[in-house]
Amino acid sequence: MIAGATNMAAHFADRLLAEIERKKTPAVVALDPVFENLPRGLRDAADPLRAIRSYAMRVLELVAPHVPCVKINSAYFEAYHAPGIAVFDELLATARRLGLITLADVKRGDVGHTATMYALAQLGDGDRRSDNSPDAVTVSGYFGEDGVRPFIAWAAPRGQGVFVLVRTSNPSATVIQDAPLANGQRLHEWVGRQVASWAAEPETLGERGYSLVGAVAATRDAGDARRLREAMPHSIVLVPGYGAQGGRAEDFAPYFKPDGTGALIVSGRSVIFAYEKAEATSRSIDWEQAVAAACKSFADDVARLITRN
């Protein structure tokens, strides 16, 4: 398959699995640029958003040979209001031209007609997706089915995907998401059950047995990860936390099935800001080389997780 020639009508999960196999790694780079963390030379710019744009465009080119997928968080662009959103859209379009599967990490959530408006806004508004439409979005699960269904309905005919937040990585997630329910499950397991039920519907399933409805899960407790993997057999699990957040490749193994499918591992700052440590100690470093090397190292490291057992 030629990069950038992805068939748009194809099912999201099938396209994603094909790209993971083509690049031989389940690695996802999170591109969340912050002006203060840009390479030294770019921080001199008078226009922070313009500097962020140049940097992020180049990062996409640097990581595209190594990973199947990038995740871009809208918060870092919303901070620059309308011009920031224009850059966010431009980056999604560029990533797609580079043959990358694109995840818009927007964590939107609302109900009824408003949820449909968010789906339209974040997944695109054409029967054929416009250039800047991402391949998938992240959504909140707190509203229950009414909040997620409009995103599924929007994504399905367009070959797009939806990742529902199940268990996040922050310390205080234990208070809400791990709250024990009267039925013996913890809240995030209960949300996972909901996700599993939507993901089991035939109309959300692709040819490979995975659904367009995925999940975001970040616990590094091996038992919890295994339980979530088993509870959501049709969902691809998006797992943040590699690298700067402390996760090593082996910590993510429980999110994969024995055949090596089922999860995407995300690394952010340890790749995109890979030059920071060197910059702090040496006078000059080729930031592009540092990012490319860190990306390749990350991609290679997690590649062994998809080796069939």
User: Which residues are catalytic, by number?
Assistant: 107
Q: Which of 39, 111, 100, 44 is nearest to 71 (CA)?
A: 100
Minimum CB separation of residue 212 from a copy of itself in Å reads 19
The least distance separating a copy of itself from the CB of residue 170, rounded to whole angstroms, comes to 4
23: Cβ–Cβ under 8 A, 6 or more apart, which residues?
66, 67, 68, 299
8-state DSSP, 130:
P
Please say which residue, 11 or 158, places its beta carbon nearer to a copy of itself: 158
Phi, psi of 215 (to 5 degrees): -140, 150
- Shortest distance in whole angstroms from residue 137 CB to a copy of itself: 12
Q: What is the DSSP string of 260-280?
A: S-SEEEEE-HHHHTTTHHHHH
Residues found in the chain? 309
Q: How far is the CB of 154 from a copy of itself (least distance, A)?
A: 12
**Which residue lies nearer to a copy of itself by CB, 1 or 79?**
79
Rank residues 27 and 106 by Cβ distance to a copy of itself and give the closer one. Answer: 106
Query: Cα(301)–Cα(24) distance, rounded to whole angstroms?
Result: 11
Residues in contact with 172: Cβ distance below 8 Å, sequence separation at least 6, in sequence order: none
Contact footprint for a copy of itself (CB under 8 A): 32, 34, 73, 75-76, 78-86, 89, 107-115, 117-118, 120-122, 125, 132, 140-147, 165, 168-177, 179-183, 187, 190-191, 194
Q: Please state, in angstroms and rounded to a whole number, the distance separating the CA atoms of residues 95 and 56.
A: 10
For the bound state, the minimum distance from the C-beta of residue 163 to a copy of itself, rounded and expressed in Å, comes to: 14
Angle between helices 145-155 and 112-123 (to 10 degrees): 40
When the beta carbons of 147 and 206 are compared against a copy of itself, the nearer one is 147
| Per-residue DSSP letter, 127 | S
Q: How far apart are CA 291 and CA 151, in angstroms?
A: 34
72 and 82 Cβ atoms separated by less than 8 Å = no
Q: Based on CB atoms, which residue is closest to a copy of itself, 111 or 278?
A: 111
